[in-house]
């Protein structure tokens, strides 16, 4: 199951706001539609919004080229890149993918012919008209295809490294959705769980609902039930009793941005789980590709935290449940301090404290961007 497919001249996504009750596919034919889908959470998850933005830039290049390619294209792509980055501020993968696409455009403006997409079957390279894409568009479609392929490989590698940390029989608690629906495929936290199952381990999962958007109840539960992995849904507030009663062996979550010191932004409520894990003596793992590590930020207080509209909290399933007139604060991410993180499982290996050294080492010793 793939949350996003490049169809040659458009991006096809599964509308995650409709899952699990309906499987509705949406087609984005221009970058504005991609930006809207990200903003409205029709697709979400740090690596997936980065991938979608990458294809958004390819669509912008195609639009520009089909209207008569001229020297203004790089400025136009910069402008589109800024708009795409502004859709959701917390996950660094979005800015990372946009910057990578803009760098590809600068390297090869209008001369992308000869760039080959890794997997022609999955990511066919055609222009908007259905004919062969022209230079820059072709180069950008290829670059987005590489981002997709690399993310898929990264998730498999995260799974391989992470499953070694899972005991032969394990109950694993996860939060929000860090699965195939949040990535190009397989998932990060759910990738660790899938890889442990594939290695013959007996795993069962406790999935939190993840209020207010219910990514756990709607998406993680859906993915795991489809995969035949035993999963028990709990409310976010039940995590305390569930962990304290000894039912959980380890916690594994995804991440939206990891600062250089290991402080980790992830779905709101993650910090609570890390505190519970520490208080009850179980490991707390973060699983993420290296594109989620932001070595340019010294610590987590510098990570921008997205706040979303109040109806997400005051309403349930489209109906108001909270008293009229109440004030709402709706931060949708929080930051877990590095000292509560047992290890960060990346595609390049497992980073342990002190994270400043281990994360920098995994990135090849240099700032990532
Ligand atoms: O608001 P969302 O649904 O985009 O938040 C998603 C998360 O917090 C995930 O845990 C994170 O993006 C990692 S996805 C591999």
Q: Of 195, 143, 177, nearest to 48 (Cα)?
A: 177
pLDDT, position 124? 41
Q: Of 148, 26, 48, 36, nearest to 83 (Cα)?
A: 36
Instruction: Output the CA–CA distances (angstroms, integers) from residue 38 to 94, 146, 185, 288, 304, in the order listed.
Output: 10, 20, 18, 20, 17
Annotation: CATH topology of 4-155: 1.20.120
Positive or negative, the CA dihedral 39, 45, 48, 50 is positive
With a cut of 50, which residues of the chain have pLDDT below it? 109, 111-132, 367-369
Helix residue ranges, H only, 67-170: 73-85, 92-107, 135-163
Measured CA to CA, the distance from residue 316 to residue 314 in angstroms comes to 7
Residue 48: CB partners within 8 Å, gap ≥ 6? Answer: 3, 4, 181, 182, 183, 184
Atom of ligand 1 nearest to the CA of 179: 15
Q: Determine if ligand 1 sits within 6 Å of the CB of residue 88.
A: no
Whether 159-362 and 4-155 are alike in CATH topology: the answer is no
Q: Determine if ligand 1 sits within 6 Å of the CB of residue 183.
A: yes
Q: Determine if ligand 1 sits within 6 Å of the CB of residue 45.
A: yes
Q: Do the beta carbons of residue 209 and residue 175 sit within 8 Å? A: no
pLDDT, position 209? 98
pLDDT, position 72? 87
pLDDT, position 110? 52
Residue located nearest, by CA, to atom 8 of ligand 1:
267
Predicted TM-score (pTM) of this structure = 0.93
To test ligand 1's pocket by mutation, which of 178, 272, 303, 307 has the most ligand atoms within 8 angstroms of CB? 178
Look up the CATH number of domain 159-362.
Answer: 3.40.50.10470
Cα three-residue angle 216-295-343, rounded to 5 degrees: 50
Cα three-residue angle 235-240-245, rounded to 5 degrees: 110
pLDDT, position 117? 39
Domain range list for the chain: 4-155, 159-362
């Amino acid at each position: 199951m793939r949350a996003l497919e490049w169809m040659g001249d458009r991006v096809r996504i599964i509308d995650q706001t409709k899952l699990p009750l309906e499987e509705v596919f949406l087609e984005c034919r221009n970058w504005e539609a991609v930006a809207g889908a990200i903003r409205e959470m029709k697709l979400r998850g740090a690596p997936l919004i980065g991938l979608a933005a990458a294809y958004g830039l390819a669509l912008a290049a195609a639009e520009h080229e089909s209207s008569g390619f001229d020297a203004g294209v790089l400025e136009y792509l910069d402008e589109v890149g800024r708009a795409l980055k502004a859709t959701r501020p917390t996950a660094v993968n979005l800015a990372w993918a946009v910057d990578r696409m803009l760098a590809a455009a600068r390297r090869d403006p209008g001369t992308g012919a000869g760039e080959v997409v890794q997997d022609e079957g999955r990511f066919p390279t055609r222009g908007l008209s259905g004919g062969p894409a022209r230079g820059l568009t072709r180069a950008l479609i290829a670059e987005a295809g590489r981002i997709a392929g690399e993310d898929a490989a990264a998730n498999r590698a995260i799974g391989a490294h992470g499953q070694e940390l899972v005991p032969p029989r394990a109950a694993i608690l996860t939060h929000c959705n860090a699965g195939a629906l949040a990535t190009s495929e397989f998932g990060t936290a759910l990738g660790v769980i899938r890889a442990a199952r594939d290695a013959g381990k007996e795993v069962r999962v406790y999935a939190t609902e993840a209020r207010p958007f219910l990514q756990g109840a709607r998406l993680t539960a859906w993915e795991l039930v489809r995969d035949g992995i035993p999963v028990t849904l709990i409310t976010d507030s039940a995590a305390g009793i569930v962990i304290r009663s000894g039912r959980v062996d380890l916690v594994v979550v995804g991440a939206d941005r990891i600062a250089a010191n290991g402080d980790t932004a992830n779905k709101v409520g993650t910090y609570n789980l890390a505190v519970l894990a520490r208080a009850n003596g179980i490991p707390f793992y973060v699983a993420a590709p290296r594109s989620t590590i932001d070595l340019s930020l010294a610590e987590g207080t510098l990570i921008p935290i997205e706040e979303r509209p109040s109806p997400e909290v005051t309403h349930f399933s489209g109906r108001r449940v909270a008293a009229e007139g109440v004030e709402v604060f709706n931060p949708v991410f929080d930051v877990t301090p590095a000292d509560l993180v047992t290890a960060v499982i990346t595609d390049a290996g497992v980073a342990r404290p002190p994270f400043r050294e281990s994360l920098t080492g995994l990135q090849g010793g240099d700032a990532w961007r």
